[in-house]
Amino acid sequence: MPRKIPEPLFPAPLAYENPEFLNSADGRMLRIMAEYQEPMARFRRERIQDTVVFFGSARFRALDVASHELELLDNTGSATPAPPEEQPASREEMARGEASVQQLRLAEAAVEMAAYYEDARRLAGMVSRWAMGLPGRRHRYVVTSGGGPGIMEAANRGAYEVGAKTIGLNIKLPFEQMPNPYISPELNFEFHYFFMRKYWFAYLAKALVVFPGGFGTLDEMFELLTLAQTRKLAKKITVVIYGSGYWNSVVNLDMLAEKGAIAMKDRELFQFADTPEEAFRLLRAGLAEDAQDSAYEREQHWVGRGVPEEPAPSAQELLGPDIAKTR
């Protein structure tokens, strides 16, 4: 018996426009490659040469002009406040004598963290202002953060306030998270894969500033220190750990060397600082040799000239070949 003539088919979706495939396990390699190639293309287009990365807590809001209350966030990167019983004591509660010991301790810690916010903001501004004065055809030592609130916001804010470009490498999380508003829009990134985000932290960084933080900050700090310790980075990276009182009470780094868990010389991989001025001095000293005019820039008579305002040409535009576009 003859088969029925089938209904006409609609065109199949193009493979790169097929969300079912792209979001499947089979499309994972393409997603990973995209989180490498798309940021690379944007960094080249925006003429980014290297970065100074700021790590630190995302859980604390700043004590700002518009707000007189410090508030703990529910989770790292979350926009939702923590439960009332975990919040610092308010001024009214302290005045009425209604605050618990735990709430008083949290209030004291919140004030301390607000001070770190302002220090990160000042330091990022100092670094950015200095970097903007360096010669070259690309932006140097661009302040970079994880893109969220807290210390990350402070770093982006400090760079923004002096008119510098600033990068936010955000991560997609199960709970709500928005990039802070101080990131340069053209350098606002969102990653699905933590390891690709970490790659971009490490790949461009010439210096790292570690402010007080929690699990994420510890993870990122020790990962970069391990890369430097094992010489997997083909460059020197200056690491400044900010807030010696906080860090010495959280982790005993000297004990690692005293017990032989790390070599004594590994203690030289990082330095402590307790003021923005001290941290800036250490960063400038660590970056001094790298910040010198490159031979290429001298040959191209670029010394004394600023970064071009127009976007950099793509590799295709710069190197060719002149491949015809397709429709």
Per-residue pLDDT of the chain (327 residues; tens, 9 = 90+): 788 888 899 999 999 999 999 999 999 999 999 999 999 999 999 999 999 999 998 876 666 532 444 554 545 555 566 666 666 555 555 555 555 556 556 666 667 778 899 999 999 999 999 999 998 899 999 999 999 988 999 999 999 999 999 999 999 887 656 899 999 999 999 999 999 999 999 999 999 999 999 999 999 999 999 999 999 988 889 999 999 999 999 999 889 999 999 999 999 999 999 999 999 999 999 998 777 655 455 545 555 567 888 888 877 777 767 666 666
Count Cβ neighbours within 10 Å for each residue of 56-95 and write b for 16 or more, e otherwise: bbbbbbbbeeeeeebebbeebbbeeebeeeebbbbeebee
Q: What pLDDT, on a 0 to 100 scale, did the predictor assign at position 74?
A: 47
pLDDT for position 101:
55
Cβ atoms 246, 221 nearer than 8 A: no
Strands lying side by side in the sheet with 271-273? 188-191, 167-171, 142-145, 51-55, 205-210, 238-242, 271-273
* The pLDDT of residue 92: 54
Nearest alpha-carbon partner for 182 in 160, 203, 201, 167:
160
Give CA–CA dist 245/274, Å, rounded: 8
**Which amino acid, 293?**
D
Q: What is the pLDDT of residue 82?
A: 61
Cα–Cα distance, 133 to 144 (Å, whole number): 18
Residues near 311 by Cβ (< 8 Å), separated by ≥ 6? Answer: 45, 46, 47
b/e sequence 287-299, b meaning 16+ C-beta within 10 Å? beeebeebeebee
Task: Tell me: cis bond preceding 321? Omega within 30 of 0 counts.
Answer: yes
Helix axes 194-204, 28-45, angle to 10 degrees: 30
Provide the 3-class DSSP secondary structure of residue 307.
coil
121: left (phi over 0), alpha (psi -120 to 50) or beta: alpha
- Which residues, 6+ apart, have CB-to-CB distance to 306 below 8 Å? 135
